[in-house]
A and B are shown apart, each in its own frame.
Chain A
Amino acid sequence: MIPPLIELNRVYRTFEKDGEVLPVLQDINLQVHPAEILCLVGESGCGKTTTGKIIAGFLDPSQGQVLISGKPQSAYRRSERSKLRRSMQIVHQDPFASLNPAHTIEQILSFPLRRHHMVNGRNELRRKIWELLTLVDLTPPGDIVNKYPHQLSGGQRQRVSIARALTVNPQLIIADEAVSMVDVSIRIGILKMLHRLREEFNLAIVFITHDLALAKYFAWEGRLAVMYLGRIVEIGRTQDIIQNPAHPYTRALLSAVPEADPYVTKKKEPMKLRSDNIPSLNNIPSGCAFNPRCPFYMPGTCDTVVPALSNVSQFGQKVACEPLRLRGELRLYET
């Protein structure tokens, strides 16, 4: 069996802020397999970006292990390690911030190509740049190479970011809210392109987003992990989770999202939470972090036991919810 590209084992990550230690990630167990689409969803502060950075090797875990192709980093030699790092690339949310405004597109793409000796000589460099721009549908490349980022539209800039990620032949691309700043009308084009690149190069894609409808569309054939306050609360096939959500938090999210269909969206019944307040990271509730807001709260259980991701009958996905694990169903909490 091919080992996962990346495996996070009991990963914790803390950050220090104003002398306080914030547990940004707790007990994250996650595998990214070759050529798969894995989508991390959750609201701001849930740890999805930090998880992406740990997957990419930009951040080390405070505790726990990251395995690359089945082996810990320390098992690789130095030269191998930088090669492994290179095989994982991040595409950030804001292409204005991630592309140097003083460099032309040609310069932006040639830097990593030369730095990592991906090409020999000027002709090959030029050919490679044209090939990359064609891959991301920036055609004809001759119109693009001499432009600066500000001369391109938001969608075009994001395509340049993706072309840059492709310069080093990665196996995994982490797209962190990569189309959130792009206009609705052109998002789909970029997502379709990512799908195509994935098939063409056997790329795995970790897609990080707060937009559930977008996650559903992009990762329909892949997997979804829902995060809340630093933990994964539900993980499985996207179709299973979207069609039959298990965790109360996932149910709340899905029921809260308005839809671009007047009848459907007006008929939706948003789940009523017990509280609108999102606990802060320096004061995460004990037990299940969602318990103070959860309408299915089970006193004595949810506030004491930290639920582990487990299989529950009638659900294809794994879910971290004690009432579900114990009873197989959710009952409303009545005061």
Chain B
Amino acid sequence: MKPNKVVFSVRDLSISYSAERGRVKAVTNVSFDLHEGETLAFIGESGCGKSTLNLGLLRLLPRAGQIDKGSITYTYRNGRQVDIRALTDRQLKRFLWAECSMVFQGALNSLNPVLRVSDMVYDTARAHNLDRSEAKKRALELFEKVRLEGKRVFTAYPHELSGGMRQRVLLALSLLLKPQVIIMDEPTTAVDILTQRSILEVLKELRRELDFSVIFVSHDLAVAAEIADIVATMYAGEIVEMGPVADVFYRSRHAYTFSLLDAAPRLSAGDQELHSIPGSPPDLIEPPSGCKFHERCRFATDICVSTQPELIAETGRHFAACHHSDRVLATRKEVVQV
């Protein structure tokens, strides 16, 4: 892995939501680095905290949510660093889009239905003091890059575009101000197979041509396998394993990553013996003791109930928080023949 500059550096970040019964600990002690030019994918089941984490990074949490502790350090292109938590609201507004933008699931919800695409371009331009004609020029270029008819799309209303086109419009708009980082939350989840394919291809092309990093949130292991450089598995609000995509998939060190892969059908794998994970994700108001996965884990022993495992480096950039990472690895190697 190339030792590029770190763009996002997150340390001990914890986020919780207030609920009737108490505080929901949605994200607990999360630390990671996003390097320049990399795609980092967060995978995990619904409710594992992956979306909360990414909303938290940009302070876009809903009212009930709050960052309890931790730091989010962002490094500008010129090397200057800033803690996102310390930005004023005005500074944050300028930061979003220009430095870091987001593409959400369900493009229809993210595009204002009563505005033309052009209005959204101009709005963004105005908010960031960008010249109108310059903004239009750049938008048209980006639309072509994501394989849309620029002129037609520019004057269209969202309802005149298909789901795949809208998702590509969002992708293009997110790049309008040349941000360093794009955060994408399940960008291909609600779309059809061939539409998903064209979005993935467009994304890969953009990555080759333009200079930006991606944080990608998905429950779809296959999409992560295809586009991620680094994969982080989240469970019950924590990163339980993180590393280069091949390490995490072929040399899994955490029982939960192992179990997720063991439940994922693969098209080209012939007749497969797969296994579900028993039970369901834990209550995050009163999370289980020790390793939060122990109740559902086929590798669990007494120590998993009593002691919380620490995230430790296995090799290079591969980390896992599992008491039985050697057993997991040995079992995974039996399954994978690479």
Chains A and B are bound partners: yes
For A184, list chain B residues within 8 Å (CB): 45, 219-221, 260, 263-264
For A118, list chain B residues within 8 Å (CB): none
Distance in Å: Cβ of A111 to nearest Cβ of chain B: 27
Tell me, yes or no, whether B201 is within 8 Å of chain A by CB: yes
For A212, list chain B residues within 8 Å (CB): 193, 267
Q: Is the CB of B194 within 8 A of A256?
A: yes
Number of A residues, CB within 8 Å of B: 41
Which of A44, A189, A192, A265 has most B Cβ within 10 Å? Answer: A265
Q: Is the CB of B246 within 8 A of A262?
A: yes
Q: Which of B40-55 contact A (CB under 8 A)?
A: 45-46
Which of B192, B196, B198, B246 has most A Cβ within 10 Å? Answer: B192
Q: Is the CB of B197 within 8 A of A278?
A: no
Number of B residues, CB within 8 Å of A: 45
Q: Which of A171-190 contact B (CB under 8 A)?
A: 183-190
For B196, list chain A residues within 8 Å (CB): 256, 258
Q: Which of A75-95 contact B (CB under 8 A)?
A: none
Q: Is the CB of B268 within 8 A of A186?
A: no
Tell me, yes or no, whether A305 is within 8 Å of chain B by CB: no
A185 to B275 CA separation, bound complex (whole angstroms): 8
For B57, list chain A residues within 8 Å (CB): none
A189 to B200 CA separation, bound complex (whole angstroms): 30
A261 to B272 CA separation, bound complex (whole angstroms): 14
* Interface segment, one of B171-179, B222-230, B284-292, B322-330: B222-230
Tell me, yes or no, whether A148 is within 8 Å of chain B by CB: no
For A261, list chain B residues within 8 Å (CB): 225, 249, 266, 269
Tell me, yes or no, whether B37 is within 8 Å of chain A by CB: no
A265 to B280 CA separation, bound complex (whole angstroms): 29
For A276, list chain B residues within 8 Å (CB): 147, 164, 194-195, 198
A328 to B158 CA separation, bound complex (whole angstroms): 43
Of all chain B residues, the one with the shortest Cβ separation from A277 is B162
Q: Is the CB of B268 within 8 A of A264?
A: yes
Q: Which residues of B are interface residues toward A (Cβ below 8 A)?
A: 45-46, 147, 162, 164, 192-198, 200-201, 219-223, 225-226, 245-246, 249-250, 259-261, 263-269, 271-272, 274-278, 280-281, 338
Instruction: List 6 additional A-B contacts (Cβ < 8 Å) besides A256-B196, A276-B198.
Output: A185-B45, A185-B263, A189-B276, A252-B194, A258-B196, A266-B226
The 18 sampled A-B contact pairs (Cβ below 8 Å) are A156-B280, A184-B45, A185-B45, A187-B276, A188-B263, A188-B274, A190-B276, A212-B193, A212-B267, A213-B264, A220-B271, A256-B194, A256-B197, A258-B196, A258-B222, A259-B226, A260-B222, A262-B245
